[in-house]
Amino acid sequence: MKLGALEAGGTKMVCAIGDENGKILKKESFPTLTPEETIPKLYDFFEKEGVEALGIGCFGPICLDKSSPEYGHITTTPKLAWQNYDMVGAFKGLGVPIGFDTDVNGSVLGEHTWGIGKGLHSVLYITIGTGVGVGIILDGKLVHGMMHPEGGHILLTRHEKDLEFPGNCPFHKNCFEGLCAGPAIEKRWGKKGAELQDQPFVWELEAYYIAQALVDYVCIASPQRIILGGGVSHQLQMLPLVREEFKKQMNGYIATKEMEDLDTYIVAQSLDDEQGIMGALKLGLDAM
């Protein structure tokens, strides 16, 4: 089976061909310019390969309401050239089934189908990278709701040593993304996260905020496992700090068998940063 997968991001578009087992056979990246410049290249890629279905994991916000004329569109993105762009419509000419969801729902789907979320009915995936995004599978189904969760913008309580930082979200002073994503780290410390590896407080602060967000997600969504991905999560020394802080902040309130061992409850991504594109393959497969 020849499936097409598109991971549509704000900086690059990753196109891949793969099969129903999640095996990626070919992959190519294109910079995200304007739709007029970028989309024809992606379209050609999939047309030449003769894919049987296409899955798109897309940066958001996007419209996922199939009864709406806006279904398949990118909606209020700050990337102006892409505002109200009909992403699904752009590929209709291929004449194949198209699956469409958020990039992070793609990632959670990838991990749930082929990675560390396999076999569980409820999994939550967080990417901490250029932004913060959350994808959720509950009782085996991707969570959409009114639109889709925007878990990167939940509001957090400031650490007492982080009261001065203005935050980095144009909408919120104290949201998860504005305090913790890669660009927020760079703005707060004047250096990229990768260059701050030897600064323990940088990661204690990250862990403090991430743990707070996790407590909220666990209380609301009740996932059986939480998976951390994205560039900032490459700082693996942060993971034990997150677990320790999570335990402290949860304070014993929820005690399930899944949460007995936090080393298996809060885990790093397991697919070598390929869960997004693999999840897009699965979106295509499911659309067939």
| Min CB(188)–ligand ADP separation in Å | 12
Nearest distance from C-beta of residue 39 to ligand ADP, angstroms: 19
- Radius of gyration (Cα) for the chain, nearest Å? 19
Q: How far is the CB of 129 from ligand ADP (least distance, A)?
A: 2
Q: Return the residue nearest ligand ADP (CB atom).
A: 182
Q: How far is CA 75 from CA 26, 60, 183, in A?
A: 30, 7, 23
Q: Which residues bind ligand ADP (CB under 6 A)?
A: 9, 11, 129-130, 182-183, 192-194, 230-232, 234-235
Whichever of 53 and 184 has its CB closer to ligand ADP, that residue is 184
Residue (27 or 234) nearer to ligand ADP, CB: 234
- Residue 171 interface partner, choices Zn ion, ligand ADP, none, CB cut-off 5-8 Å depending on type: Zn ion
Produce one character per residue of 227-261: b if its CB has 16 or more CB atoms within 10 Å, e if not: bbbbbbbbbeebbebbbebbeeebeeeeeeebbee
Least distance in angstroms from the C-beta of 19 to ligand ADP: 24
Which one of Zn ion, ligand ADP, none is in contact with 130 (Cβ closer than 5 to 8 A by kind)?
Answer: ligand ADP
Structure tokens at 283: 């979106």
172 binds, among Zn ion, ligand ADP, none (CB under 5 to 8 A by kind): Zn ion
Q: Give 268-273's long-range contacts (Cβ < 8 A, gap of 24+).
A: 268/227, 268/228, 268/229, 268/233, 268/236, 268/239, 269/107, 269/111, 269/115, 269/116, 269/125, 269/227, 269/228, 269/229, 269/233, 270/111, 270/115, 270/116, 270/227, 271/110, 271/111, 271/114, 271/115, 273/229
Query: What sign does the dihedral 81-84-88-91 (CA atoms) show?
Result: negative
Structure tokens at 84: 């109200």
Interacting residues toward Zn ion by CB under 5 A? 153, 169, 171-172, 175, 178
User: Among residues 169 and 221, whose Cβ is nearest to Zn ion?
Assistant: 169
Residue 163 to residue 144: CA distance in whole angstroms: 34
Site of tokens 């693996």: 236
Closest approach, Cβ 58 to ligand ADP, in A, equals: 12
Residue 219 binds: one of ligand ADP, Zn ion, none (C-beta under 5 to 8 A by kind): none
Q: Strands across the sheet with 132-138, in order?
A: 141-142, 132-138, 123-128, 225-229, 266-268
Contact partner at residue 201 from ligand ADP, Zn ion, none, CB < 5 to 8 Å by partner kind: none
- The answer for 271, left when phi > 0, alpha when psi is -120 to 50, beta otherwise, is alpha
Nearer to Zn ion, 133 or 135 (CB): 133
Taking the least distance from each CB to Zn ion, the nearer of 133 and 223 is 133
Least CB distance to ligand ADP at residue 153 (A): 15
Minimum gap (Å) between residue 213 Cβ and Zn ion: 12
The partner in contact with residue 175, picked from ligand ADP, Zn ion, none with C-beta cut-offs of 5 to 8 angstroms by kind, is Zn ion
Specify the residue, 51 or 232, whose C-beta has the smaller distance to ligand ADP: 232
Q: 230 is in the binding site of which of ligand ADP, Zn ion, none (Cβ under 5 to 8 A by kind)?
A: ligand ADP
